[in-house]
Structure formats: structure tokens, C-alpha cells
Amino acid sequence: MLDELIGTDRLHEACGVFGIYGHANAANVVYYGLHSLQHRGQESAGIVAADHGRFNVHKGMGLVTEVFINGNGELSGDVAIGHVMYANQKSTVIEAQPLVFKYRGGTIALAQNGALINAPMIRRRLEQQGSIFQTNSDTEVIAHLIARSRYDDLELALQEALAEIKGAYALLVLGEDRLIACLDPNGLRPLALGRIGDSYCFASETCAFDLIGADFLRHVQPGEMIVISQNRIRSVQVAEEKPALCSFEFIYFARPDSNLTGTMSVHQIRKQLGKQLAAEKPVEADLVLGVPDSSLSAASGYGEALGIPFEMGLVKNRYVGRTFIRPNRETRTRDVKLKLSVVQKVVEGKDVVMVDDSLIRGTTSQRIVRLLRDAGVKSVHVRICSPPVVYPCFYGIDISSRDELIVAQKTIEQIRMFISADSLEFLSVDGLVRAITGGPDLSSGGSGLCLACFSGKYPVPIDQQS
């Protein structure tokens, strides 16, 4: 993803989870699963394995390969969960998940992808009642609610906790004798169920199943809790289902080889986005470029629809490490060049369409257009494969204020001038829904997608926060 390479002008995802029950090398399988989910978070990684009630934990800051330098053979147990994190707040290893707690019901470990909009309010209340929190994590709030439940049974205590929390959560809970997966009533974040041999597994994205050789069974449903214990699997619908999967999973977050709908891959849907954009906002040009990597599928669809060659005109340097020091204003242009190159022979003297997945603050597009102009393009037409992002996200994506969004601050023409493009166009909300679902925009509630950052219609009312 280019955001890591160019700076902060991109949305960030907030984590990936993987869990498996009943596998002799559970932690090892989770290790490989987390590799496939690395794009969802690079800040920390962790695995907890349960071995006859004993919890073995390893976690740390950094990539999966950095945290598990010598593999993970030390973590014995036949049930395990793991987590990769992109944190919205400044975090330390204390916040690295899974989080492990001991309470009157035994030991539990939790790994979550999402954000709870009422976590601050619950935390304040619990602190006033004497609770001591060790982390800034929403996940710890869930653990406190479980521990304070009137129920001794983990499953019932968890259900009680879920009834209180609001927001986005794809949650794995590892108990001493069971693995539980829960999805919020809107299913804002993806969570899939798979099977390898006799073992059931869960992953934020199906691409993790492909790596470990598991079969994808189905997606966990919004409001569903799945409990695996004694090699049996049970499903409980704990809340009314109101599907609203984050549309940015399709646009940007998920890996192209993942399957979020049960039918098409993310790559195929991104191609549809590009084709829909071509139908709505065509332009005459010599070639189409995609901003690597997340915009390549959409760019190929855009070119295919209009009969314009799709070319590799932008190349990402994959070996600029994460440890690279953030640039200051003076070094920013050189920094962009270090991370992204233009294939000058491809673009020189050409009318170019530059397809990008989204436009948040505008600075990334501005820098890439400048690189293309420096390489001698005749014209640059920017086409964005998502509608203008006008509203903040409260469900785990790090756009917390409209001040951060250029579309909320400037007109489209002002943005075009800011990024020095010859033209700038966006996909419509109707077109986005049509490309993802194959149907019309039913965004009043029927599309099954969250579109709140485009429409301001939040599936979980934001007055429920704090």
C-alpha cells in the first residue's frame, strides 16, 4: 500500500485477526495466517496458544517476521489466536494483541479488529467504579465487561458484554476450552470461517486460508457468535443482523485475492469499480496508470472499458523499509521518488489517466501528479475509484475529523488545481454500490454496505459514542 511509502495521506486499517481450534500446531498455523493479513496492520503482532488451560503468549512491535524471528515453535497448544495491529493511537507493546486476562472464570485471550464508539463512556464508568485499565485498547473494555458479568459461563458473559458495546468489532475470544468468534450487528469488518482437516479457523480475510490450505466455508454473519468447543461448532445469533460492511474494504483495505462477498474476489470487484468509473467519467487518453498497489485492478478495469491500454507507468520500491525516517518538508519530494518511480519511457509525451482508489488529504495525488509531469507527460487526468470522502469514520479507520478531508474543505475544481491535474473526477455513490453488489444504490439501508464516510449516514448512530 502506498500510504506506508509516501506518508499519511491514506486511510489506515485497524487490524487483522486469525484463530484456529483443534490443530496440533495451532500457533504455527496462526503465524502463517498472520503473514497473509500483514497488510491490515504492521505496528505489532502477537499469538496466544492455549495448551490444556495454560496460555502461551508471544507478541511485540513490528512485522510478523520481526516479532517471530525464530518462528513460533515455543507456543504449544491446539487452540490459538493471533493479531496484527495498526493502532489509531500511539501504542506500545502493552497494547499489542491478543490481550490476556485472568478473571474468576479462568484465563481468556482477546483479539479484535474494529473500534467501539462507546468504549470511552464505558471505560469512564468502570473507572469510577474502581476498575484499573492497563491499556488504551477498546478490547480491554470488553474483557472488563466479561469479568464483571453476572454470568460465570464465558459464552453468556460475552453475550452480555456484546449487548453493551456499540461500533465495529470482529472479535476472537480464546477460552480455556473453546474458541469464540463474534461479529458486530452491522458486520462492519470482515470475518471468515474456514476449515483445514478437522480444524475450524477464522480469519479477517480469506486470503489467509489460501496460504495455510484451509477451505473457506462462509463469512461470519453480522450479529453472529460462533462457538467451537469439543470439536463441535455452534452458531448463535446474538443480535439482529443489519449488514453494513465497510465499503473501503473493497476499495482499498482488503487484499485483491480475498473474497468478501462469497462470489467475486476483491480484484474482480475493483475491476468493476474501474469499469463503472469509466462509464461515468470517461476521458480520451493514450494510456491508463494505476497507483500501486491498491489501484491497479481498478485501473485495468477503467482501461479495458474504454479500450485504452493499461500500462505499468508507476513502480513502487518494495524495499524501502518501514524504519525509513519520515521526511521533513525539504526532503519530501526526494522521499516520494525514493518510494515511487515513473517509467519515463512509458509516459513521456502521453495523455495519461491516473487511477487512484481514494483521495483523502490530496497530498499524495499532488506528489504523484508532479512526478508524472516531471517525467514529461502531456496531460494527467485523475480518476478516483471511490466517491468523495466527506465525513469521518468512527469505526476504526483513522479519519477522525472533517478537517483532515480535502473534499470537506475545497471544491472539486479547487482540488484539481491543488493537485495540478488536467481533470479530476470521482465515482458516484450509486456507482460504487452497483459495482460492489451488482445492484442499484439502496444506501438508505439496503445495500449491505457502510457508506458513511461518503454519505454521512452512519449505520451505528454516532450520538452513541463517548
By CB under 6 A, is residue 427 in contact with ligand SF4?
no
By CB under 6 A, is residue 450 in contact with ligand SF4?
yes
- Least CB distance to ligand SF4 at residue 330 (A): 33
Counting other chains too, the contacts that 59-67 makes at CB distance below 8 Å and 24 or more residues apart are 59/83, 59/93, 59/96, 59/97, 59/98, 60/93, 60/96, 61/92, 61/93, 61/96, 63/38, 63/322, 64/31, 64/34, 64/35, 64/38, 65/35
Catalytic residue among 15, 246, 393, 450: 15
Interface map 340-379 toward ligand SF4 (x if CB under 6 A): ----------------------------------------
What distances in angstroms separate CA 7 from CA 59, 324, 445, one per listed residue? 26, 11, 35
Identified binder of ligand SF4 from the candidate list 385, 393, 419, 460, rule CB under 6 A: 393
Rank residues 9 and 155 by Cβ distance to ligand SF4 and give the closer one.
9
The question of whether 385 is a catalytic residue gets the answer no
- Least CB distance to ligand SF4 at residue 116 (A): 13
Set of cell numbers at residue 211: 496460504
3-state secondary structure at position 462 = helix
3-state SS string for 174-243: ECCCEEEEEECCCCCCCCEEEEECCEEEEECCCHHHHHHCCEEEEECCCCEEEEEECCEEEEEECCCCCC
Rank residues 246 and 296 by Cβ distance to ligand SF4 and give the closer one.
246
The piece of 22-30, 40-48, 263-271, 447-455 that touches ligand SF4 (CB under 6 A) is: 447-455
- Least CB distance to ligand SF4 at residue 11 (A): 6
Alpha helix locations (H) across 245-325? Answer: 248, 266-280, 296-306
Rank residues 289 and 405 by Cβ distance to ligand SF4 and give the closer one.
405
Count of H-run helices and E-run strands, the chain: 17, 21
The piece of 15-23, 48-56, 430-438, 445-453 that touches ligand SF4 (CB under 6 A) is: 445-453
Rank residues 247 and 272 by Cβ distance to ligand SF4 and give the closer one.
247
Q: By the 8 A CB rule, do 239 and 187 touch?
A: no
| Closest alpha carbon to 204 in 219, 187, 190 | 190
Rank residues 202 and 391 by Cβ distance to ligand SF4 and give the closer one.
391
Number of residues located near ligand SF4, criterion CB under 6 A: 11
- Least CB distance to ligand SF4 at residue 450 (A): 3
| Closest alpha carbon to 57 in 106, 113, 100 | 100
Q: By the 8 A CB rule, do 146 and 161 touch?
A: yes
The piece of 147-155, 351-359, 370-378, 446-454 that touches ligand SF4 (CB under 6 A) is: 446-454
Question: Which residues inside 239-278 make contact with ligand SF4, applying CB under 6 A?
Answer: 246-248
Q: By the 8 A CB rule, do 241 and 184 touch?
A: no
By CB under 6 A, is residue 188 in contact with ligand SF4?
yes
| Cα–Cα distance measured from residue 367 to residue 336, given in angstroms and rounded to the nearest whole number | 7
- Least CB distance to ligand SF4 at residue 445 (A): 14
Residue 331 has a CB neighbour count (10 Å cut-off) of 12
| Cα–Cα distance measured from residue 248 to residue 152, given in angstroms and rounded to the nearest whole number | 38
- Least CB distance to ligand SF4 at residue 443 (A): 11
Burial of 73 (0-12, 13-18, 19+ CB in 10 A): exposed
| Cα–Cα distance measured from residue 425 to residue 381, given in angstroms and rounded to the nearest whole number | 8
By CB under 6 A, is residue 397 in contact with ligand SF4?
yes
| Cα–Cα distance measured from residue 156 to residue 232, given in angstroms and rounded to the nearest whole number | 18
- Least CB distance to ligand SF4 at residue 243 (A): 12
Rank residues 30 and 460 by Cβ distance to ligand SF4 and give the closer one.
460
Rank residues 44 and 113 by Cβ distance to ligand SF4 and give the closer one.
113
Rank residues 250 and 310 by Cβ distance to ligand SF4 and give the closer one.
250
- Least CB distance to ligand SF4 at residue 359 (A): 14
By CB under 6 A, is residue 452 in contact with ligand SF4?
yes
Compute φ and ψ for 34, nearest 5 degrees.
-65, -35
The piece of 216-224, 271-279, 309-317, 389-397 that touches ligand SF4 (CB under 6 A) is: 389-397
Query: Residue numbers of the site for ligand SF4 (CB under 6 A)?
Result: 188, 246-248, 393, 395, 397, 450-453
Known catalytic residues?
15
